[in-house]
Amino acid sequence: MSGFSFVFTSTVFKDKMENKERGNFSELLSELIVLADEVASLAKNSEIEVDIFAEFAMLVEKFPPIFNDLRDKSTVLDKPPIRKSLESLENELRRAKALTKSTNLRQPIKQTEDITHDIGRSLGLLLVASLEVSADFREKIGTLQRQLMNAKFDGNLSQTSSPKSELTSTDTKLTGEIEEEIIDVSIDDVVLQLKNGNDEEFAIALLRLKEFLRNERLDGGLINEEAIIAILFNRLGSCKADNRLAIMRLLRSFAFGNDEKKEKMVDIEFLSAVVKSLTRDSEERREAVGLLLDLSDISAVRRRIGRIQGCIVMLVAILNGDDPVASHDAAKLLDILSSNTQNALHMAEAGYFRPLVHYLKEGPDMNKILMATALSRLELTDHSKLSLGEDGAIEPLVSMFSTGKFESKLSALNALQNLSSLTENVQHLIRSGIAGSLLQLLFSVTSVLMTLREPASAILARIAQSESILVNEDVAQQMLSLLNLSSPIIQGHLLEALNNIAAHPGASKVRSKMKEKGALQLLLPFLKENNIKIRSKVLHLLYTLSKDLTDELTEHLDETHLYNIVDIVSSSTSKIEQAAAVGILSNLPASDKKVTDILKRANLLPILITIMNSVTGSNSSTTNSLADSIASVIIRFTNPSDKKLQLLSAEHGVISLLVKLLSSGSAITKSKAAISLAQLSQNSVSLRKSRKSRWLCVSPSVNAYCEVHDGYCFVNRTFCLVKAGAVSPLIQLLEDPGREVVEAALYALSTLLQDEIWEGGVNCIAKLSGVQGIIRSLQVVDAKVQEKALWMLERIFKFAEHRVKYGESAQVVLIDLAQKSDSRLKSTVAKVLAELELLQAQSSYF
């Protein structure tokens, strides 16, 4: 290793360590100013190679003003890419400092040119990274960068090629080895080694070729340049990475500023070899992109590059990569290639959409139609749709639809349909004001426009997801009037749009208007629809409407309609459709006996139990919704005023299902299950079999005796919560964060404290550690929950042992409740406090 190489390596290592520790951007620039001044001073005062170093010093002296300007803008420009480029500049200037201090330079001209070009490349990184600075300042950086890259130290500053220096620092050792023998080697020998030599021989031949080039020994016509270019391109596909890099740098030197030489590089096979390097390591990628960009001046190259498989895809990947130089060159090359519409389409397929959007905004109608058609057919990710929306694709497409001829309208609508599945793009569509035009188109009877109705209705369905559509309260009625006049596909989109509109929280007026305009009469016949997609969407819309049109729905649902819905529940293979159908039934008033009788005859209950058993344990939104609705319908079949119906439900196994639901499912499912168990338990006292009964044909087993009901209890005949194993899971529900769940659990447990059986009920709840849960439920901010818990605690604290065990923890909550609750609860609180002997019976709280 030479003395200079050792100094350079150790200096770079030391500098990297210092840069890691330096955090202040302004401080970095101050150090660079000092370093640049020091390098310029050393160069001017050098006692060797005075003329060379004097010219070098003139270039370095131009750096401090640039660094000063950057320091003034440090708060804006302190960003990782700029910091990285400045650190690269610092490393190169330190190399330059070591060079100017050296007293033993073997090739002073070449070494000075190399370091100057390397400083120029680092300054190029700064130019790419400094997008925020003014154009004048960027021009100042660009001018200096060109001077550095074109520097040739022979007594004046003259132009050479801008690509990377033909002889890099890594070539120095080999150059020294061949320097003496180069005179004795002919160009024919070099060509032969380039063509047939192994990797090592090829590397040496490349250096010899560079030496010939440097000494300008090819101008005498001794070599066929076209042949040597062909050899280099052929070797590009088979040699090692270092040699590939050297080849491309050499080819860039050939091509620089010489269109005649570029014309010799237009062969498709040559270009394909360069394109392969786009997939390799970062340095090789950078040179490959640079070479393709250099050659893109030639029209034949521009035509052919886009046709090479994978080229545009890789250029887009490099554009989005983290190499600023390669990314900058890739952007310029893609911009050049995008003048061809086919290339613009390939770029869109690769995820780069700006050229496509540009064509949508400007140019002839045929190009716009071409781009819109492509956009309608592309499989777009959400990220791609977002990029297109942000790049401004939607506005020109809306303009094409509004003002264009039929083909423009059709391609624009299909493209908008593809983009409208993203919520952010829906907002662009709404702001464009397209909704009114789409509705108008749906009412059109012009035959040529009929084919536009399908994408128009699909876009409307997407726009309807936004509440802003409610600004026009008549839009839903207009869509309803089109239902029976449309094809199945359009009907599907209209139904989806109507459901989206009706489902908005602020759509109560719209739902009322839909009812007034006969929406239910219009929708119910669709329950017999053979098209499953249409039927499913009708069910969803009816379910949405049924949430606040309960009474109206009951009026219009006759026995046939109910049987149709039950048949759908029974036969549908879609859980989504089943959830909507059961949801409609769950919203019918549970007190309507006529509806209950029809559903009983339709054998609905065993169907629901079978479905529920099949979905228990699943946790998707659809199965949760289905379970919620089934649990709601079961409340109808456990009505405490109809013991026969309760017995029928028990025979179908509803009680064991309800107990299972207490420990699984959503809060709604748990609360509904608890309510059904409470309704069943209300009749347990009257259905129990007394131990003294003379009507027992067979003596029940000892296990049948229930201490709570003081009689013989059976799950399916007396609906006993104790025998069903429901008490413990109900107590667990008292810890649930949901108010409705706690209220339903208290309702069910309170049935164990009815007048005839309350002592046994208290002991059962206490034995299963339920008292503390009831006390905690007093902290639920809900009057119904608190009232039920107080009623239960009043009975529990009639037992001295429970007063002793739980009184202390209860009194803090009770006193707080007495102070904060309304007058209606204060009386009950006082009774409980009196049981705890904390309040006189004659207290004013009564």
- What is the per-residue pLDDT for 215? 64
pLDDT tens by residue, 2-27: 443 333 333 333 444 444 434 588 88
State which amino acid sits at residue 53. Answer: F
**DSSP code of 159?**
-
Q: Give the percent of the chain with pLDDT over 90.
A: 50
Q: Which of 499, 500, 406 is nearest to 453 (CA)?
A: 406
Please report the pLDDT score of residue 295 as a whole number: 93
Tokens, residue 122:
């680092």
What angle do helix axes 532-546 and 508-516 make, rounded to 10 degrees? 110
Length of the chain as a residue count: 846
DSSP 155: S
Q: Return the SS3 of 197.
A: coil
Classify residue 705 by its DSSP letter: E
Lowest mean pLDDT among 563-572, 615-624, 692-701: 692-701
pLDDT tens by residue, 58-85:
898 999 988 888 888 877 777 777 888 8
* In the predicted structure, residue 764 carries a pLDDT above the cut 90: yes
Spatial separation of the C-alpha atoms in residues 370 and 367, rounded to whole Å: 5
Count Cβ neighbours within 10 Å for each residue of 333-348 and write b for 16 or more, e otherwise: bbebbbebbebbbbbb
123: Cβ contacts below 8 Å, ≥ 6 apart: 85, 89, 141, 144, 145, 148
Q: Which pLDDT does position 122 carry in this prediction?
A: 84
Task: Check if the beta carbon of residue 412 is closer than 8 Å to that of residue 438.
Answer: no
pLDDT value, residue 160: 36
Q: What is the mean pLDDT of residues 621-625?
A: 91
Q: Which of 744, 823, 749, 734 is nearest to 779 (CA)?
A: 734
Rounded distance, CA 507 to CA 154, Å? 83
Token pair for residue 362? 């400007």
Model confidence at 673, pLDDT cuts 50, 70, 90, reads very high
Residue 174's pLDDT band (cuts 50, 70, 90):
very low
**647: which residues sit within 8 A by CB, 6+ positions away?**
716, 717
Place of tokens 């209300």: 682
* Both structure tokens of 8: 């350079």
Above 90 in pLDDT, residue 457?
yes
- The pLDDT assigned to 416 comes to 97
Banded model confidence at residue 704, pLDDT cuts 50, 70, 90: confident
3-class DSSP string for 416-478: HHHHCCCHHHHHHHHHHCHHHHHHHHHCCCCHHHHHHHHHHHHHHHHHCCCHHHHHCCCHHHH
Amino acid at 606: P
Distance (Å, whole) CA 28 – CA 19:
8
State the average pLDDT over residues 710-736.
Answer: 94
Beta bridge partners of 712: 689, 705
Please state, in angstroms and rounded to a whole number, the distance separating the CA atoms of residues 732 and 725: 12
Q: Of 22-31, 346-355, 448-457, which one has max mean pLDDT? A: 346-355
- Tell me how far CA of residue 782 lies from CA of 355, 597, 738, 742, in angstroms: 61, 35, 11, 10
Q: Residue 324 has which token pair?
A: 């600023």
The encoded tokens of residue 567 equal: 């048949």
pLDDT tens for 439-448 read 889 888 777 7
Q: What is the pLDDT of residue 102?
A: 79
Residue 99's CB: how many other CB atoms inside 10 A?
24
* Residue 595 pLDDT grade (very low, low, confident, very high; cuts 50, 70, 90): very high
Average pLDDT estimate for 97-114:
83
Averaged pLDDT, 349-364 = 94
Specify the higher pLDDT residue, 691 or 624.
Answer: 624
Q: Which residue is associated with the tokens 């090692």?
A: 240
Mean local confidence (pLDDT), 402-413: 95
Residue 178 in this model has a pLDDT that exceeds 60? no
Q: Structure tokens of 657?
A: 């299902």
The CA dihedral of 321, 326, 332, 334, to the nearest 10 degrees, is -50
pLDDT digits (tens, 9 = 90+) for 499-522: 999 999 888 888 888 888 889 999
Closest CA to 423 of 358, 467, 378: 467
* Cα gap 430→433, rounded to integer Å: 5
Stretch 411-418: mean pLDDT: 96
Alpha carbons 65 and 80: distance in angstroms, whole number? 22
Q: Is 143 helix (H, G, I), strand (E, B) or coil?
A: helix
SS3 of residue 771 by DSSP: helix
Q: Structure tokens of 568?
A: 């759908």
DSSP 258-277: -HHHHHTT--HHHHHHHHHG
Q: How far is the C-alpha of 346 from the C-alpha of 356, rounded, in Å?
A: 10
Helix axes 434-442, 453-463, angle to 10 degrees: 140
CA 720/CA 61 separation, integer angstroms: 98
DSSP states of 378-389 as a string?
S---HHHHHHHH
The pTM score is 0.67
